[in-house]
Amino acid sequence: MVSQPTTSISDLSPLEQCECGDIGFRTVPRDDVLCRLQTMLSANADTPLMVGVVLVQINQYQRILGSYGYRFAAMLSKMMLKRLNEKLPSKVTVIPLSLAEFVVLLPDLKIRQQLGLAINKIRQIVFPLFSVLGSSFRVNVTIGASYSVDRAVQAPELMRLADSALLHAYDGRLPQCIHDDIPAEENEIPFLALQLDLERALAQNEIGSVFQPKVDVHTGEVVGVESLVRWTSPVFGAIRPDLIIATAERGGLINDLTFQTLNNAILQYRRWGENAVPIAVNLSPEVIPDPALMRFIGRRNIWGMPVEALTLEITETAFMENPEKAMEVFSEFNEMGIKLSMDDFGTGYSSFEYLKNIPIQEIKIDRAFVDNMRNDRKDRLIVHTIAELAHGLGLRVIAEGVEDAETYHLAMEAGCDVVQGYFISRPLPPDEFVEWLRRGDWYRP
């Protein structure tokens, strides 16, 4: 096979002139890219070699435009294109799709691992600072990639797979994704069709909730439940909870989903009557800036749910994305008497700083540490240290993911106050929770 030369801007035709034509940066229509990609696929048709497609997108490019101006942004893109062309092997083709996005075509991959190595190489190339108009600037990128493991694949499909991988990386806040790393369920269910069905389900109030009990680790007393979303689509069947949430976030439906989940919890508390226990509801970071959230929660007492019975579970991400707004909202919740719980604690970068600043009442230690306490002394030490620190700050500690009696007792020894997990109970529909509560046959130490 003849190696493809590195593509320069002048090699590609027809060309679309950017608005900053004086800078000399030109983008290439996707149809031209598909023609080049199809040529590579045809050249490999009778060989074991694969073609790779890597989409490289500059993060927050609109913010760069707004902060530094169009000329700065266009020069940055031109310098990035130049650096990729100079540093990547001559057989690799680099094409600018827009000021913010580049496609890198790899013509002769022997194994999938070479695609991963190429992605790492691209990251190494773009990591050093760029000097633009007298300013030093570092570029962060998100990458989506695909490769022609199927010899019959055509250029449009291979490009679509790379686009899908790029979207998956963005939605999951991942630095990169290769198309075959996307869970099979997400590839099997068309996103747009699922989004439309979820939108319909929200409009018709079809989203349900199940409730997983939490018990005092020392007494075995039920001290509350966590509300978890459930939905069975008439088209696609039962949808995994994480896929429901991901679809809502990507489709702009997360606010509606959150409000419906809150509504379910508040109504259920009233329906349980004398069997009612405090309910915790997960709060997506995207919902926090919405003024409707405060209005919605502020009138919850008309449903007959007292302030102290509601806990909102947040993650560090909720604080990191907009610290000032998050602190304002969390402080209002605190003044209203609503409890805040830090979920998945121990997996973030600045957990202890947030413990000091955010007005929370409890933390939930991530199940990754709890589940492995039986086998790893370090995880037991981590749980013990977190519990000791939290107690010093006056916080309650919940261990989630408790799956057996040994882990239950290890959580108790580590200083946890509350446990949650399948060892106590799986998440239960509302009526089953009442029956479970009446039977009283869960584990007590």
Query: Which of helix, strand or coil describes residue 239?
Result: strand
Q: How far is CA 350 from CA 38, 245, 343, 354, in A?
A: 47, 25, 14, 7
Q: Is the pLDDT of residue 436 over 90?
A: yes
Lowest mean pLDDT among 118-127, 277-286, 317-326, 346-355: 346-355
The two most distant CA atoms of the chain are separated, in Å, by 78
Query: Which of helix, strand or coil describes residue 312?
Result: strand
What integer is the mean pLDDT of 166-177?
83
Instruction: Give the start-to-end residue ranges of the domains of the chain.
Output: 9-182, 191-439
Residue 136's pLDDT band (cuts 50, 70, 90) = confident
> To the nearest whole number, what is the mean pLDDT of the chain?
85
Q: What is the pLDDT of residues 421-432, one digit of tens each?
A: 999 999 999 999
Residue 149's pLDDT band (cuts 50, 70, 90) = confident
Instruction: Identify the CA nearest to 134 among candidates 82, 68, 43.
Output: 68
Model pTM?
0.64
- How wide is the angle at C-alpha 187 spanned by C-alphas 184 and 190, nearest 5°? 140
Q: Beta-strand (E) ranges in 326-444?
A: 339-345, 362-365, 396-400, 418-420
Note the pLDDT of residue 355: 72
Query: Which is more confident, 401 or 23?
Result: 401
Residue 18's pLDDT band (cuts 50, 70, 90) = very low
> Looking at domain 9-182, does it have CATH number 3.30.70.270?
yes
Q: What is the pLDDT of residues 211-220, one digit of tens each?
A: 999 999 999 9
Q: What is the pLDDT of residues 374-389, one digit of tens each?
A: 888 898 999 999 999 9
Note the pLDDT of residue 435: 94
Lowest mean pLDDT among 122-131, 179-188, 242-251: 179-188
Q: What is the pLDDT of residues 31-68, one digit of tens each?
A: 999 999 999 999 888 888 899 999 999 988 888 888 88
Note the pLDDT of residue 381: 93
Residue 358's pLDDT band (cuts 50, 70, 90) = confident
Residue 399's pLDDT band (cuts 50, 70, 90) = very high
Instruction: Identify the CA nearest to 91 among candidates 185, 215, 6.
Output: 6
Q: What is the pLDDT of residues 199-242, one digit of tens each?
A: 999 999 999 999 999 999 999 999 999 999 999 988 888 888 88
What integer is the mean pLDDT of 272-280?
94
Q: Is the pLDDT of residue 1 over 70?
A: no
What CATH code would you report for 191-439?
3.20.20.450
Residue 352's pLDDT band (cuts 50, 70, 90) = low
Q: What is the 3-state secondary structure (H, E, C) of 34-68?
A: HHHHHHHHHHCCCCCCEEEEEEEEECCHHHHHHHH
